[in-house]
Amino acid sequence: MPKKKTNTITTQQAKQALDKVINKSRAHWYKPIQIAEILYQNRTAHNINLEHLEDYRTKSKEWRDSITLPLLGRVCTSSAKFQDNIFDDNAIPPRVLKILGEENIRTNGAVEAYIYRCFFTKQQQFQVALSVCLDAKPNTFFVKKFIDAFWKEPGLKRSIDKVYEIIVYSLFETLVEAMELKVSVFISEDALPILTEFEDFSQRVMCLDATHTNHIQSAKLYRVGVTNAADRGLDMYSNWGPAIQIKHLSLDPDLAEEIVAGVSSDKLVIVCKDAERKVIQSLLTQIGWRSHIQSIVTEEDLINWYEKALRGTYSSKLSQKLLDTLAEEISLEFPHVSNIPDTLQSRHYDNITDTFGNRITKTSILANVYIRYN
């Protein structure tokens, strides 16, 4: 008789599922921390059944936020659907969480300690990479080095798109502001009767009325994405026309089609890692593409423009503003852990010396991190 298939999950398989979530996590680590807090509650309060998702689906978000708020200064604001996919079959479903919970109780919290150890290790990596920007001077900052600090480090590569977006925004906003670009909105005389009829609308929405038919404002760029979220929408837009979409990928026709289809805008500026000249020429000249794509900017262009802004003819006007904007956006986007909340310290993870899934969670390393951050 053929052997009956079983859904039994080993501790090693459960750890692999956890590592997958950890490796996919962005800077704020909301999902791994949520798992750690579920395991902590299960170990200490004994008030949930890990096989019953509804016992902790909603509560675990509160447990997570009670840690991330003092630790990172923020809480998760992603959609409920995005937050709940941590429990999908390809992440940490209840059957996997049950195995992690059993191992966590057996080792008196080693799985929790493992998650937080990985978190603090990642934080150290972030701070080293971000220091390239935060401690920079106009004569010492090279944007290529900053990009590579994320691109070439496996533990940080997940955040390269956000870093690239900030690099683009900081440069574009600095140049637009320095050029004192203005945007003028006006109405033709032929349309004045309609404006008069809807004057309350035009005043509120367009800042125009029968006596003020022209409105001038400073040009601005805006970043759209929720802070470090896995959003898939528009990256940046301007109040003078084009939307700006940023991908730290090599551009080809398939990627261009995906970008254009995903953004509703008459004109689109695509910023990419690189693209072959023939691809750029094709996208900018072919019917169907040229009506949507205004221009294509590559990493090489950004490096050249950064060099001129930091050390070129007008560096005295541009360099410090550019670095200040870059540092401000980086600080807003990525968390800085300055101290460990009392809640975590009271758990004494540094005293746990058991092993978890053949990977030592002996948290003398975690203890060292505590010392560094305190």
The tens digit of pLDDT for each residue in 69-124 reads: 999 888 998 889 999 999 999 999 999 999 999 999 999 999 999 999 999 888 88
Domain count, the chain: 3
| Residue listed under structure tokens 């009829």 | 197
Specify whether 158 is located in the same domain as 268. Answer: yes
Is residue 214 in a domain?
yes
Residue (of 27, 23, 48) closest to 38 by Cα position: 48
Is residue 4 in a domain?
no
Which pLDDT does position 316 carry in this prediction?
96
Q: At 257, which helix (H) or strand (E)? A: helix 253-262
Is residue 62 in a domain?
yes
Pairing between strand 293-297 and 268-271? parallel
Q: What is the CATH number of the domain that holds 240?
A: 3.40.1350
Is residue 6 in a domain?
no
Specify whether 276 is located in the same domain as 176. Answer: yes
* CA quadruple 247, 248, 253, 258: dihedral, nearest 10: -30
Is residue 2 in a domain?
no
Specify whether 146 is located in the same domain as 258. Answer: yes
Specify whether 297 is located in the same domain as 342. Answer: no
Specify whether 278 is located in the same domain as 305. Answer: yes
Contacts with 206 (C-beta within 8 Å, 6 or more apart), sequence order: 185, 215
- DSSP-derived letter for residue 136 is -
Is residue 364 in a domain?
yes
Which two three-digit tokens encode residue 348?
């004494």
Report the DSSP beta bridge partners of residue 250: 274
Answer whether 74's CB lies under 8 Å from 335's CB: yes
Specify whether 155 is located in the same domain as 62. Answer: no
Specify whether 260 is located in the same domain as 363. Answer: no
Specify whether 213 is located in the same domain as 238. Answer: no
Which pLDDT does position 7 carry in this prediction?
63
Specify whether 53 is located in the same domain as 175. Answer: no
Which two three-digit tokens encode residue 72?
């990172």
Q: Write down the number of H helices and E strands in the chain.
A: 16, 9
Specify whether 163 is located in the same domain as 96. Answer: no
The domain of 212 spans 182-218
Residue (of 35, 10, 15, 8) closest to 356 by Cα position: 15
Phi, psi of 355 (to 5 degrees): -110, 155
Is residue 310 in a domain?
yes
Specify whether 117 is located in the same domain as 165. Answer: no
The pTM of the full predicted model, rounded to 2 decimals, is 0.79
pLDDT along the chain (374 residues), means of 10: 60 93 88 97 94 96 94 89 93 96 94 92 83 87 91 79 92 96 90 92 90 90 64 77 89 84 83 86 74 89 97 96 92 79 90 65 41 38
Is residue 5 in a domain?
no
Which pLDDT does position 364 carry in this prediction?
41
Q: Out of 165, 192, 218, pick the residue that ends a domain.
A: 218
Which pLDDT does position 278 carry in this prediction?
81
Answer whether 127's CB lies under 8 Å from 155's CB: no
Instruction: Report the distance separating Cα 271 and Cα 269, nearest Å.
Output: 7
Contacts with 185 (C-beta within 8 Å, 6 or more apart), sequence order: 206, 207, 208, 214, 215, 216, 217
Specify whether 168 is located in the same domain as 279. Answer: yes
